[in-house]
Structure 1
Amino acid sequence: MKKLLILLLTGCLTPSPAYAQKQSTNTEIELWPGVMPDAGGARGPEINNKGSITQVSKPRLIAHVPEHPNGIAMLVISGGGYAHIETGKESSPAAEWLKAEGVTAFELIYRLPQEGWKTRLVPFEDAQRAMRIIRSQAKLYHIDPHKIGVLGFSAGGHLAGITATLPDKVFYPPVDDVDATPSKPDFAALIYPVISMLPPNDNTHSHKSILGKEPSLEQETAFSVERQVKTGMGPVFLAQAADDPVASVENSLLMFAALKKETVLSEMHIFQAGGHGWGMGKPGSAVSSWPQLFKKWLECNGILNN
């Protein structure tokens, strides 16, 4: 089957003492030095069922460090409807690909909202904290502090989108000096993302996990990424399949329209077929071209210099 591709294009610190120890390749960095905000959730052993993670009691980053860093860093976030974290299909292979390209990738293992925490907003606390940790350790990891992006898949795309559009929102009270570090991503890539929580796109598992059974219109609006887009945010790359049965392609279309309205540099690729949850994409499939399209987009925006 031939690929139908729609391309829309507009425009082509000092480390904290708590994190001063250099991490070796693919090692872990705990997000919180002591008691984490809104604690009291998952207490049992973490469950990892073939790369699908639940019962996260220790939110953390997994650092994938290239031998020759090119100065770019990315926070990489798997989806799973905010009910589990699909590292095996999404963030782990994506982080390894980025590492091979010279990008320092930080894979996020975040708390899940329905595992007993004091608020359903714990994923947003963890993602915002993760961005601050990465930027606070820029010198340590040979990262340009102005070239730190976020990449998210599905529900992870929603989490990445909120992180990108609401960097100044106070999701948690400061716990140490790291929290004085800006959390704004310099760019974002959203792959088959959940974007809108508003009707008619309010039937995803992500909607239920974050907002519960009967949220108000105000709550749905507050967590619809397209409603949070503002002039001045970093450029955004979008990729989705037209036949996505989980998160309607309208999610990406709404996001692109919002980005264009606010004159945010953006590029969108809509594939004729591919469904949902393809991660890096099966070799030879149309959707498997997104990593190279993304790489070219980084070059076009002056983020990657080859």
Structure 2
Amino acid sequence: MKLHLVLLTFFYSAVSFGQQKTVEVWPGKIPGAIDAGSYKKEIKYDSNGKSPRISKVTDPVMEVYLPPAEKANGTAVVICPGGGYSVLAIDHEGRDIAAWFNSLGIAAFVLQYRLPSDVIMEEKSTGPLQDAQEAMRIVRRNAGKWHIKTDRIGIMGFSAGGHLASTLSTHYNAKVYPVDKKVSARPDFSVLVYPVISMDEKITHKGSRNNLIGKNPDPHLVKEFSNELMVSEDTPKTFMVHSSDDTVVPVENSIRYYLALKDHGVPAELHVYPYGGHGYGTGRSDKTESTWPRALENWLKMNDWL
């Protein structure tokens, strides 16, 4: 209980840093977009008017959260909230995380990425990746303005957002839209929290799989978006969190990705907790899964990103 109170105090003090602005990912034409007219972004709240869930994102944006100048250390993270590729859990897997990073002197960018849909995308499987690649490039292009070092920019994702983060980590060179090759989309590190990794029917999250590549996908798409199969020696260093009792996204997703990273000589750290289930964000109990932010802070220090 004490740990939970400490974390809450930490977050509430960090929230005061606040969001500075919102940046359009595609201020011009969105690649592969279909004009769907009445298809508009929706925000829904729980019965207490909290826990917003965003759906039907047509115009992706990044919410910019910069730490105070005296705390900034040049590191930045693009955050991808989860939600099964159908909604975005924007608070506990996005804005709350940004506030925590700001408290460490790290700039944070919460990405409202397009959720795959045949209604608004010519190829729905690549839509989210297009947004993630361009988000990373936007941060690099604006590194000087935001006091960020171009070799200290990471990607983070929760659940299906973890699938997007691991997709960017393994597909950062994929040609999914015309781009200036001078600006790399490769993250310098990735942080994956109870992530969907694989499209393998045995361990995938079926909702995420169905939304991204369809209910009867081409085997090529299954392989391409099973990111444990796409790891290379150039995949960025990775920190991972999962719980053994996760019945939504089986822990085997993280285990397979970790083993692939290990096999390719990529430094990786995997924390598997016995409890926690799924979707707990920074933690919701006094059990060990709620300690992962402390472990992540230590990992960031070890790699000189703090």
Structures share fold, TM-score greater than 0.5: yes
Which region of structure 1 is more displaced relative to structure 2, 50-59 or 199-208? 199-208
Instruction: Give the ranges of 4+ consecutive aligned residues of structure 1 lying more than 6 Å apart after TM superposition.
Output: none
**Letter of the structure 2 residue corresponding to residue 124 of structure 1:** L
By how many angstroms is 1:70 displaced?
1.2
Where does residue 10 of structure 2 map in the other structure?
Answer: none
Cα pair 1:76 1:106 within 8 Å, conserved: yes
Where does residue 261 of structure 2 map in the other structure?
Answer: 259
Whole-Å separation in 1 of the counterparts to 2:22 and 2:139: 12
Give per-residue Cα distances to partners, 1:174-200, cap 9 Å, x unaligned. 3xx5x6410000000000000011131
Query: In the alignment, which of 83, 90, 107 is matched to residue 104 of structure 1?
Result: 107
Cα pair 1:41 1:118 within 8 Å, conserved: no
Query: In the alignment, which of 32, 50, 55 is matched to residue 26 of structure 2?
Result: 32
Whole-Å separation in 1 of the counterparts to 2:234 and 2:41: 39
Where does residue 75 of structure 2 map in the other structure?
Answer: 72
Matched, 1:141 2:146: yes
Whole-Å separation in 2 of the counterparts to 1:77 and 1:61: 10
**Letter of the structure 1 residue corresponding to residue 302 of structure 2:** C
By how many angstroms is 1:231 displaced?
0.6
Give per-residue Cα distances to partners, 1:185-218, cap 9 Å, x unaligned. 0000000000011131245211101110111322
Higher RCO, 1 or 2 (CA under 8 Å, sep at least 6)? 1
Which consecutive residues of structure 2, in runs of 5 or more, have no partner in the other structure?
A: 1-17, 46-51
By how many angstroms is 1:137 displaced?
0.7
Secondary structure in structure 1 of the residue aligned to 2:154: strand
**Letter of the structure 1 residue corresponding to residue 123 of structure 2:** T
Cα pair 1:41 1:57 within 8 Å, conserved: no
**Letter of the structure 2 residue corresponding to residue 103 of structure 1:** I
Where does residue 41 of structure 2 map in the other structure?
Answer: 46
**Letter of the structure 2 residue corresponding to residue 271 of structure 1:** Y
Whole-Å separation in 2 of the counterparts to 1:41 and 1:270: 43
Query: In the alignment, which of 271, 286, 289 is matched to residue 287 of structure 1?
Result: 289
By how many angstroms is 1:239 displaced?
0.4
> Matched residue pairs, number?
279
Query: In the alignment, which of 95, 98, 102 is matched to residue 95 of structure 1?
Result: 98
Whole-Å separation in 1 of the counterparts to 2:35 and 2:128: 12
By how many angstroms is 1:116 displaced?
2.8
Secondary structure in structure 2 of the residue aligned to 1:188: strand
Which region of structure 1 is more displaced relative to structure 2, 148-157 or 162-171? 162-171
Give per-residue Cα distances to partners, 1:252-276, cap 9 Å, x unaligned. 1101100000010000000000000
RMSD of Structure 2 on Structure 1 (CA): 1.7
Secondary structure in structure 1 of the residue aligned to 2:149: coil
Cα pair 1:46 1:57 within 8 Å, conserved: yes
Which consecutive residues of structure 1, in runs of 5 or more, have no partner in the other structure?
A: 1-23
Matched, 1:119 2:113: no
Secondary structure in structure 2 of the residue aligned to 1:29: strand
**Letter of the structure 1 residue corresponding to residue 278 of structure 2:** H
In the TM superposition, 1:1-306 aligns within 5 A as: 25-40=19-34, 43=37, 44-50=39-45, 51-68=52-69, 69-114=72-117, 115-120=119-124, 121-174=126-179, 180-282=182-284, 284-304=286-306
Which region of structure 1 is more displaced relative to structure 2, 150-159 or 38-47? 38-47
Secondary structure in structure 2 of the residue aligned to 1:184: coil
Whole-Å separation in 1 of the counterparts to 2:289 and 2:297: 14
**Letter of the structure 1 residue corresponding to residue 62 of structure 2:** L
State percent identity of aligned pairs. Answer: 36
Whole-Å separation in 1 of the counterparts to 2:200 and 2:36: 29
By how many angstroms is 1:37 displaced?
0.5
Whole-Å separation in 1 of the counterparts to 2:293 and 2:35: 36
Whole-Å separation in 2 of the counterparts to 1:262 and 1:290: 25
Cα pair 2:167 2:227 within 8 Å, conserved: yes
Which region of structure 1 is more displaced relative to structure 2, 69-78 or 110-119? 110-119
Cα pair 2:204 2:253 within 8 Å, conserved: no
Whole-Å separation in 1 of the counterparts to 2:20 and 2:286: 28
The 3 A distance-change label for structure 1 pair 46 and 302 is same
Cα pair 1:195 1:251 within 8 Å, conserved: yes
Which region of structure 1 is more displaced relative to structure 2, 263-272 or 197-206? 197-206
Where does residue 6 of structure 2 map in the other structure?
Answer: none
Give per-residue Cα distances to partners, 1:134-186, cap 9 Å, x unaligned. 01111111101100000100000000001011111111123xx5x64100000
